[in-house]
Chains A and B, each alone.
Chain A
């Protein structure tokens, strides 16, 4: 399982999926989705939640469904 993003209980598997895609580097992924390497690093290390569009682009490049790349965990949700 990937890391938590902020307090939003969203985890991600980007690091693992990059590894499964010929050990794609953060720089390569960043170039393909049109952001800086620092932004990919921030997303992976739970310091930034990407926009919906960027999330879709990352999922597309990693050839995985969005819910496999980003996972929402509503365990403490008051709903």
Chain B
């Protein structure tokens, strides 16, 4: 598994956890009497969590990979290749295309709910949801391309 592939795996785990947290919170709000201004607070929480969790999990993962390399190679200062080549860039591009597609469909559906008379909170919740799902789908697609090839 290359350095870039590991980064994608870390991103997938991070955003899957955040997606799970978001779905749990939004379901809780929905059952507690519908969506309110609290949606904006949840949006801010998700954004902050996304940034902090990505940084922390990336650091932990890199330390873990470095320890693994030390054990595997027996070298106290193992060389970790963090370079990016044309295959990494192409896979990243295709993953981004999938993420954009999912995000666009989600945005369209969110607008549609608003146009059909639902509350703007519903539209906003769906926009956040589509962003998170898009990130997860993009990462899954990238990992599939790394594993299966193209």
Partner of A39, one of B1, B85, B148, B150: B85
- In the assembled complex, how far is the CB of residue B83 from the closest CB belonging to chain A, in whole angstroms? 6
Q: Given contacts A42-B87, A50-B86, are A36 and B149 in contact (CB under 8 A)?
A: no
Counting CB contacts under 8 A, is B69 at the interface? no
In the bound complex, residues from chain A placing their C-beta under 8 Å from that of B88 are 36, 39
Do B86 and A54 touch across chains, with their CB atoms under 8 A apart?
Answer: yes
In the bound complex, residues from chain B placing their C-beta under 8 Å from that of A45 are 149
Complex Cα spacing A37 to B70, Å: 19
In the bound complex, residues from chain A placing their C-beta under 8 Å from that of B25 are none
Counting CB contacts under 8 A, is B2 at the interface? yes
Do A36 and B85 touch across chains, with their CB atoms under 8 A apart?
Answer: yes
Complex Cα spacing A42 to B150, Å: 9
Q: Classify chain B's interface size.
A: 10 to 19
In the bound complex, residues from chain A placing their C-beta under 8 Å from that of B148 are 47
Main secondary structure of the interface of A (DSSP, over half): loop
In the bound complex, residues from chain B placing their C-beta under 8 Å from that of A34 are 85
Counting CB contacts under 8 A, is A6 at the interface? yes
Counting CB contacts under 8 A, is A35 at the interface? yes
- In the assembled complex, how far is the CB of residue A59 from the closest CB belonging to chain B, in whole angstroms? 16
Besides the known contacts A36-B88, A46-B149, A47-B149, 11 further A-B residue pairs in the complex with CB atoms under 8 A apart = A34-B85, A36-B81, A36-B85, A36-B87, A37-B2, A38-B87, A39-B86, A39-B88, A47-B148, A48-B150, A50-B86
Q: What are the 8 tightest A-B residue pairs by CB atom distance, in nearest-first order?
A: A47-B149, A35-B85, A38-B2, A39-B87, A39-B85, A36-B2, A36-B85, A48-B87
Binding site for A on B (CB under 8 A): 1-5, 81, 83, 85-88, 148-150
Interface CB pairs A-B, < 8 A, 17 = A6-B149, A36-B81, A36-B85, A36-B87, A36-B88, A38-B2, A38-B5, A39-B85, A39-B86, A39-B87, A42-B87, A42-B149, A45-B149, A47-B149, A47-B150, A48-B150, A50-B86
